[in-house]
Structure 1
Amino acid sequence: MKWLQIHITVDQPQVDFTETLLLSLGAVSVTLDDAEDQALLEPLPGETPLWNKVIVTGIYQEDEQEPIDVDALIAFAKMQLPDDTPIRSEILEDQVWERSWMDYYEPIQISNNFWIVPEWLPAPQESAVNLKLDPGLAFGTGNHASTFLCLQWLGTTDVKDKIVIDYGCGSGILGVAALLLGAKKVYATDIDPQAVLATKQNAELNGVLDRLWVGLPEEFNAEFKPQQADVLVANILAGPLMTLAPEFATLTQPKAQFALAGVIEEQVEDVCATYNKFFDVEQIEKREETWCRISGRRHA
């Protein structure tokens, strides 16, 4: 079986139409890539940043007995788009390409007795706390410095029998880690429905789904009671973290512990200034010379 890729380069306003066009022509998947090596600024909460010029790629499954008429497909696409729109095609080698990234993951040791283990690999230390993870649906594997910093903090924080919030849960790695480390209940939330699904799946994979609640932010706001959390961890970005500081203060008990990540060194001062209104910042930890974790307790 072969896989056909159709690449169409368009301006930002045409992205949604082009994505819909490729899907209507039978694409099994559509991806977006930067066409001009343009840096993106950190988005505001709820925003999805996009480059000015975007490569929209549709992937098609081609059966040898029913080959795709590539010329006809491209000709039809061109009829729907401006005349000068660049379109090209290529054939991918026969492979399980959608899961080929699995070859690049290895178990990650967080501490002496705490590992992150991809679900398809054996645990290096059977007696340790081994968090099994399928990172394929959403961000959060333990490889990124900010995720590692949060895991490291959880591994040295007493979460036993505590109520924990994992805000911006991604793959659910932090919430699941807290449950494996003894948390009574974890409330996880993310703006991405795929993250909600991934968190549920990873919790089930680790046998802790019965102690997890996960949902979108509006569902979380309806579910969670103020001043209920003993521990809060949020691995997102500096802008949303600063916006959410008053809400985090409302959600946590006096003296509740917190850890924030997704912050680069240049942003630490601003984030701390915002959080000092509600929290006592006790520690700033850095990894890979750029990424930082800010931790401490809510004001008494």
Structure 2
Amino acid sequence: MEYLEFKIRCLEPYREILMAEMSEIGFDAFLETETGFDAYIETASLNRTELEIIFQKYSREASLSVREGLLPKVNWNEEWEKHYEPIIVENKVYVRAAFHPPQPGFEYEIIINPKMSFGTGHHATTYLMLQVQLELDHKGKKVMDAGSGTGILAIMAGKLGATEILAFDIDAWSVENGNENFQINGFEDITMHTGTIRQIKPHACFDIILANINKNVLLDEMEVYGSSLADNGHLLLSGFYETDIPDLSKKATEHGLVPIKHCTRDNWAALVFKKGMKDFHQDW
């Protein structure tokens, strides 16, 4: 079985978008790199017309460059293990894959086998979301994880004591992967659904909404986040750069959400809002 390897260089915000689009046309393995990612597909499965459409679509805006090669055989488990190391968040959370040994001494352990899904904790935005979650009381709370990816944030919410968790993603492979990760971590009662927040149409008023997506989606869905959040509830956002904070804060305040905290990592940012606050202060 021969595989084609495509070494993709692109701007950071387009990495996950390109991986998602390429997975839809048959690419079945991805390895993130410092400048983009490597993508793999069986030679017989490649539709070059569909691939060219994707490359042309993002060529200019993503500063895309591509190098193609042929691989005779690939041991994907071996390749994955070469590129995936455990991470530690705030000396409290240990995130590992199933093939890594447990590590004693941490308050929380999360097992993530991400396959093609976004959210291993390695990316700055996922790290920031986990970091902020640790500071927020989840006990007995209703939590929504929008654009859940691997399900890592929903799992963190469960480990922090949330009693009701709604998770969903637009990509079928993320949903499959997320549900596997829920099972691995002992959360059989959580099910990831397929769709956007408007397609899911959540009816409950959530105490916490988590959304690690991208700036454009966050701006587009901000009104729905606001209407889905209970009074005094918290909205945690990431997936954007530090320079995007003013635009997102402005949009959020239009829907009754007050910024109470922000943090950054490697030029990426996370924002926390509270619904129904009259005064601007951090209260947790």
| Offset at residue 186 of structure 1 (A) | 1.1
Query: Residue 182 of structure 2 aligns with which residue?
Result: 203
**Number of matched pairs:** 243
The alignment status of 1:185 with 2:203, answered yes or no, reads no
- Aligned-CA RMSD value: 3.4
Q: Distance in 2 between matches of 1:276 and 1:220?
A: 20
Deviation per residue, 1:133-161 (Å, 9 max, x gap): 10113111000000000011111211111
Q: Secondary structure at the match of 1:253?
A: strand
2:237–2:271 Cα contact (<8 Å) kept: yes
2:175–2:192 Cα contact (<8 Å) kept: yes
1:248–1:122 Cα change, 3 Å:
same
Query: Residue 173 of structure 1 aligns with which residue?
Result: 152
Question: Mapping of 1:135-284 within 5 angstroms?
Answer: 135-210=114-189, 212-217=190-195, 221-222=199-200, 224-226=202-204, 228-277=205-254, 278-284=256-262
1:164–1:232 Cα contact (<8 Å) kept: yes
| Offset at residue 106 of structure 1 (A) | 1.7
Q: Secondary structure at the match of 1:209?
A: coil
The alignment status of 1:286 with 2:227, answered yes or no, reads no
Structure 2 unmatched ranges of 5 or more: 7-20, 27-40, 278-284
Q: Distance in 1 between matches of 2:161 and 2:168?
A: 20
Shift >6 Å, 4+ stretches: 28-31
1:148–1:25 Cα change, 3 Å:
closer
2:112–2:152 Cα contact (<8 Å) kept: yes
**Structure (1 or 2) with the larger CA radius of gyration:** 1
Task: Give me the identity figure in percent.
Answer: 23
Task: Give the residue type in structure 1 aligned to 2:211.
Answer: A
Query: Residue 105 of structure 1 aligns with which residue?
Result: 84
1:281–1:297 Cα contact (<8 Å) kept: yes
Q: Distance in 2 between matches of 1:107 and 1:24?
A: 29
Q: Secondary structure at the match of 1:197?
A: helix
1:235–1:262 Cα contact (<8 Å) kept: yes
Query: Residue 4 of structure 2 aligns with which residue?
Result: 5
Q: Distance in 2 between matches of 1:239 and 1:284?
A: 19
Query: Residue 281 of structure 2 aligns with which residue?
Result: none
Q: Secondary structure at the match of 2:191?
A: strand
TM-score by length of 2: 0.74
2:3–2:74 Cα contact (<8 Å) kept: no
